[in-house]
Structure 1
Amino acid sequence: MSVEAQPLDPKPLDPGVIETLKGITTATLTTVLLKKGLRNVWLRGAKPLKAGQPRIVGRAFTLRFVPAREDLATPESWASPKSTRGAIEAMPAGCIAVVDAMGVKDAGIFGDILCARMQKRGVAALVTDGVVRDVAGVLGTGLPVWCDGYAAPPSVAGLTFVDWQEPIACGGVAVFPNDIIVVDDDGAVLIPQALLDAVLPLAVEQERQEAWIMGEIDAGVPLPGLYPPNEATKARYEASKKK
């Protein structure tokens, strides 16, 4: 399939949704999703490459690698239409590139040149369970990256690129194109796109309640009955919302 025929992001994320989720921690999201029955939403191995990166929200643009096969994983493959280069040219502005690298840590999926192009195209962040290369250069591009470290060898030393915008397994989590990804200091969390409308108000309320509980902690209130709140605490919290 040509680059032109590959699907772009058909559903830009509402700016209001982005701003709301920027105020909600990934820790809170995992709690809310757990209450919805989803336990496996935190992408293992996807850690911030640089301390202090902002919380970022975007729809997933997926890329998939499989184990290296000598006739396919070659430097010549980088010029193929179906390559990481082709995938980057299909990425819409504002997306988060989510790359299934199978947790391979001795082959860098992207280096400084590819990350620079992603940054130029307006990609919000790169998230992978693998590693990057040219780490100093990658940091210099300004592209926020969540990964499992860095390594000098190129991707073809250990991986074969397959395709983009298809379901993947990144960090042990099933990621579909256009799922919502939120990344912060605690890592990367997925919100299934079909559950976004249900999760959003619950997450906002969870953050508000926990902020109130922190105020109670500061005031010297003991934990039993406060966290988790018992009925009396819930009543006090609801009364505080009316003030």
Structure 2
Amino acid sequence: MLDNATRSALERITTATLTTVLLKKGLRNVWLRGARPLTPQAKRIVGEAFTLRFVPAREDLATPESWASPKSTRGAIEAMPEGCIAVVDAVGVKDAGIFGDILCARMRKRGVAALVTDGVVRDGAGVIATGLPVWCSGIAAPPSVAGLTFVNWQEPIGCGGVAVFPGDVIVLDGDGAVLIPQALVAEVTALATEQETLESWIMGEVDKGVPLPGLYPPNAETKARYEAEKKKS
């Protein structure tokens, strides 16, 4: 469970820093490809993944009647807890919108923090008007059943080429979306917080005119100077 202190710390860390820290931990594939903010985002968003999965459309299953099924996107939305980030595997389909304005409005009403998908949404202006933050690959008018079949929620998925398990932590900002495996959240948050502090100090040194070699990345001498100055502050 994502506690408030960890959430608050992650809200101050860029996705760029997180990908670097995760890379150092051996995790290269954590960047959700194709998920970009639908509108400019000033605020970083952090939450646990609530997963939804589509597969390519099959004509006997992908019908408007399927929207009334208990196992539908409507049912999934009603199961979403407050503060979660809905992460949707749309198998990269870009000509069928997974959600429109009504579904996004309901998610917003339920307190869902954001929607992330490697697919697209429809009713673009209406979705934006709901105020639900959305990271996606664009907008398309056709409904989901034109290209996708909804399968289930809260099971492992692939989104943007990344394996996402329910409860993994997602961090969103203007650069895109990054995943932190649930088991590594505490460690990665601590390392990333220190990395942000170090890079802020390095930026100050750059402003002073210090050359980059030995500064970034810092060599032993630079690290010692950084630690000494950190103790003084």
Task: Tell me the residue number matched to 1:162.
Answer: 151
Give the corresponding residue for 2:99. Answer: 110
Contact kept, 8 Å, 2:6 with 2:186, in 1: the verdict is no
CA distance in 2, matches of 1:150, 1:46: 12
Equivalent position of 2:203 in the other structure? 214
Relative to the length of structure 1, the TM-score reads 0.95
Question: Which deviations, in whole Å up to 9, do the C-alpha atoms of 1:121-154 show, x marking residues without a partner?
Answer: 0000000000000000000000000000000000
| Counterpart position of 1:192 | 181
Q: What letter matches 1:126 in structure 2?
A: L
Aligned-residue RMSD, C-alpha: 0.6
- Indicate the residue corresponding to 2:164 in structure 1: 175
Q: Which residue of 1 aligns with 2:87?
A: 98
Q: Cα offset for 1:52?
A: 2.6
Establish whether residue 87 from structure 1 lines up as the match of residue 87 from structure 2. no
AA aligned opposite 2:127: V
For 1:24-43, what per-residue CA distance to the aligned partner results, in whole angstroms no more than 9, with x for missing partners? Answer: 00000000000100000000
Aligned partners of 1:215 and 1:59: how far apart in 2? 34
Q: Which amino acid aligns with 2:68?
A: A
Amino acid corresponding to residue 214 of structure 1 in structure 2: M
The AA in structure 2 aligned to 1:229 is P
Which residue is equivalent to 1:50? Answer: 39
After TM superposition, the structure 1 = structure 2 runs for residues 56-67 of structure 1, keeping only pairs within 5 Å, are: 56-67=45-56
Q: Distance in 2 between matches of 1:62 and 1:110?
A: 14
Tell whether the 8 Å contact from 1:53 to 1:144 is kept in structure 2 after alignment: no
2 CA distance for matches of 1:75 and 1:216? 60
The 1-side partners of 2:30 and 2:228 are apart by 33
Residue in structure 2 matched with residue 6 of structure 1 by the alignment: none
When normalised by structure 2's length, the TM-score is 0.99
Aligned-pair distance for 1:53? Answer: 4.2
Letter in 2 for 1:91: M
Q: Distance in 1 between matches of 2:99 and 2:125?
A: 12
Count how many residue pairs are aligned between Structure 1 and Structure 2.
232
Once the 2 structures are TM-superposed, how far is the Cα of residue 198 of structure 1 from its aligned partner?
1.4
Residue equivalent to 1:237? 226
Give distance in 1, aligned partners of 2:120 and 2:42: 17
Equivalent position SS for 2:125 = helix
Identical aligned residues as a percent: 81
* Unmatched segments (≥5 aa) in structure 1: 1-10
1:10-25 alignment to 2 at 5 Å?
Answer: 11=1, 13-25=2-14
Q: Aligned pair 1:130/2:139, yes or no?
A: no
Q: Which aligned segments of 4 or more residues in structure 1 are displaced greater than 4 angstroms?
A: none
The CA distance in 2 between the partners of 1:216 and 1:200, in whole Å, is 24
